[in-house]
Structure 1
Amino acid sequence: MRTAELKQELIDYSKKIGIDKIGFTTADVFGELRERLRRQQELNYQSGFEKGSIEERTEPVRLLPEAQSIISIAIAYPSRMKDAPRSTKEERRGIFARASWGIDYHVVMKERLEKLAAFIMEKIPDAKNKVMVDTGELSDRAVAERAGIGFSGKNTSIITPEFGSFVYLGELITNIPFIPDDPIEDSCGECTKCMDACPTGALIQGGQLNAQRCIAFLTQTKDFLPDEFRTKIGNRVYGCDTCQQVCPRNKGIDFHTTPEFEPEHDIAKPRLRPMLKMSNREFKETFGHISGSWRGKKPLQRNALIGLGHYKDKTAVKEMITVMQDDPRPVIRGTAAWSLGKIGTDEAFEAIQAALETEQDEQVLFEMRKGLDFKEGQEMMKK
């Protein structure tokens, strides 16, 4: 079968199985990406979540020795939530980034790509294929850029002409030599809105991200969150959408092409207080099907505590005191103490002071003292 015919059949088939956009590129080395990754490594701008060596991430033949082409796919996800629940004084809510709305996109994207691979195998039984979504070695964005899915914006997201940057990406490496598609021209121009709006200055320059300062990364860490970022995180439980929300290319963009990605109100915007005492089983039953659960409940509970402090939620004080006193995890006890200090009620300060007498962990003690420092700040303001 001629590859040109198979390519068109794949394009037609992709539309039938819920793929919004498909592109083809060669399996050549990603030379420019290789140099960029080395530079990121030298500057310590990486998140640490990256898989594989730089060579594996930029040389497709290391992943599939017979590699000739890469098929890139994109599926749009919603940017707006219909009838979204509001956060109230009695019931404060957090927010998951849009990329964690609905069913875990890794599952959905992999299923679509495996259907493409099966379609290829029906036509060419001895074909070699390898499917990857996000957690694979290849850079989904680099592949998508070269395959003409979109251009890489200054916010480091792939921006498509049709769906903006609200798209999930995945790829299939194959030994079939498809004719490659042309890349799309970069259209950011002089615009720097994403860089200017980034809450932590993580976008160092157009297209370069310091992941160590990115809120999307920081919400996934498991240790104490550095002080400078606690006031920036707000009520974010997982991820950050700021650089996408301000992008002019995303104005008016809101696609609901895939039912699996529709947000569940109480999951995408969860009540914060119930998150504090969730058992592992409750956490898995509630959040286990979304991508934002992959790091477990600890980071999300820590973020929920910071969110309650951000809101100065006095209704949560008693529950937070219990967490500070009883939770076996130092990060959670310490963050609860800091957030209680930020809420700043007499009951909160008294509880922190009392907990100082029995706490043994040095980091938690440090956080408790920082919590009490808020009291001094209050008193100075009164003067």
Structure 2
Amino acid sequence: MDMHALKEEIIKYSQAIGIDKIGFTTAAPFTDLKARLYQQRTLGYQSGFEEKDIELRTEPTQIMPEAQSIIAIALAYPTKMPHRPENTKGKRRGNFARASWGQDYHDVLRERMKKLEAYILNRVPDAIVQSMVDTGALSDRAVAERAGVGRVGKHTNLITKEFGSYVYLGELLTSLRFPSDTPIEDLCGECNLCVDKCPSGALVQGGQLNAQKCIAFLTQKKDFIPEPYRKAIGNRVYGCDTCQQVCPYNRGVDFHHHLEMEPDPEKVKPELKMLLGLSNREFKERFGSMSGSWRGKKPIQRNAIIALGNYKDATAVTLLIDCLLRDPRPVIRGTAAWSLGKIAKADSEVLQKVLDVFQQAMISETDDQVLKEIEHSKKELIN
């Protein structure tokens, strides 16, 4: 079979099914990536969400022994919405990162990948194919970079020349041996904006991320967010776009190629106080189709509480008191104490009310971390 001709057929078909960019590479080991991943582990910079087995992440044939090639794909997602809901005093809103706009991108990419798989198997019935999207062991960015789809920038996201870094990535392992595409050159040069503007200093240096400091990862963890990073959360309830927003390759970038990715303004810019009262069922019904819902409602609600504290929103005091005194989850109670402290420090009218509530909560509270949060907030108010 003429593999050059088949490759061109696949490229043409990929465009017909809504794949914005495609590239081909070998299934050889990702040697350089392996060294970096072991270094990240040694430094304690990993997020905890990634595949633990570094050999599996960097050796494609451990996933598929017959693998000869990897096909990388990219889909561009939108960065702007035509109508943004107002963010006003008393009705403060949170923010979902753009990567969580629209339908869960895992589903969108899987649908495209399944079509690509079916096309290849129709052309070559005895081929072996296996697709992966984000949750697979391989590094989507490393595969896409080697396949010439783009280049990983200093912000650790893949930059494409056409769509900037606002792209979702997936890959398909196959037993077919395709001609490989050529990786593109470095795109960042001397630019260091993403490193300089990172709100939490998570970009240790160009291309190296300490995920333990990264706002995007912190908003997804279920435990308490360390106090030094809470101000940097701002009004983010899921993810962070700062390093991408400042990237010169993303200036003016806004592609609306896929209807499934279009944002619902009320979902991606939700009212913060509304988030606090959602039941599990209500949360799933409203936000379950978004990728940002994958960790459940607790991290979103905790982040909303932090955002209300950052806004110094006195209209949320009653709700936050209810969280502190009645919520069964220590993370929510403790974070509410922090937020109430920030609001009371900025608004003398609620100061005494909050201090009284702290006194009440300390009598009944049994969780050590929550008690520490209350004591710390109380100390800041009376000093």
Scaled by the length of structure 2, the TM-score of the pair is 0.97
Identity of aligned residues (%): 61
Aligned to 1:54: 54
Is 1:139 aligned with 2:139? yes
Is 1:355 aligned with 2:353? no
Output the CA distance in 1 between the equivalents of 2:256 and 2:370: 44
Aligned to 1:274: 274
Output the CA distance in 2 between the equivalents of 1:90 and 1:210: 35
Aligned to 2:183: 183
Is 1:368 aligned with 2:374? yes
Is 1:288 aligned with 2:288? yes
Query: How many equivalent pairs are there?
Result: 377
- What secondary structure does 1:24 align onto? strand
Amino acid at match of 1:4: H
Kindly state the Cα deviation for residue 198 of structure 1 after the two structures are TM-superposed.
Answer: 0.3
Kindly state the Cα deviation for residue 205 of structure 1 after the two structures are TM-superposed.
Answer: 1.0
Aligned to 2:67: 67
Aligned to 2:347: none
CA offsets 1:56-90 (integer angstroms, 9 cap, x no match)? 10010011110000000000001112211121112
Output the CA distance in 2 between the equivalents of 1:133 and 1:167: 13
CA contact (8 A) 1:256 1:262 kept: yes
Kindly state the Cα deviation for residue 52 of structure 1 after the two structures are TM-superposed.
Answer: 4.3
CA contact (8 A) 1:24 1:178 kept: yes
Aligned to 1:380: none
Output the CA distance in 1 between the equivalents of 2:22 and 2:221: 33
CA offsets 1:216-243 (integer angstroms, 9 cap, x no match)? 0000011111010011101000000000
Aligned to 1:238: 238
Q: Give runs of aligned pairs for residues 296-335 of structure 1, distance below 5 A.
A: 296-335=296-335
- What secondary structure does 2:364 align onto? coil
CA contact (8 A) 1:340 1:349 kept: no
Kindly state the Cα deviation for residue 338 of structure 1 after the two structures are TM-superposed.
Answer: 1.0
- What secondary structure does 1:75 align onto? strand
Gaps of at least 5 residues in structure 1 are 378-383
Aligned to 1:337: 337
Output the CA distance in 1 between the equivalents of 2:238 and 2:334: 20
Kindly state the Cα deviation for residue 15 of structure 1 after the two structures are TM-superposed.
Answer: 0.8
Aligned to 2:225: 225
Output the CA distance in 2 between the equivalents of 1:17 and 1:348: 57
Amino acid at match of 1:60: P
Output the CA distance in 2 between the equivalents of 1:370 and 1:309: 15
CA-atom RMSD in angstroms:
0.9
CA offsets 1:8-42 (integer angstroms, 9 cap, x no match)? 11101111111000000000010100111111111
Scaled by the length of structure 1, the TM-score of the pair is 0.97
CA contact (8 A) 1:215 1:240 kept: yes
Aligned to 1:104: 104
Output the CA distance in 2 between the equivalents of 1:132 and 1:111: 11
Kindly state the Cα deviation for residue 371 of structure 1 after the two structures are TM-superposed.
Answer: 1.9
CA contact (8 A) 1:19 1:75 kept: yes
CA offsets 1:322-347 (integer angstroms, 9 cap, x no match)? 11111000110111111011100222
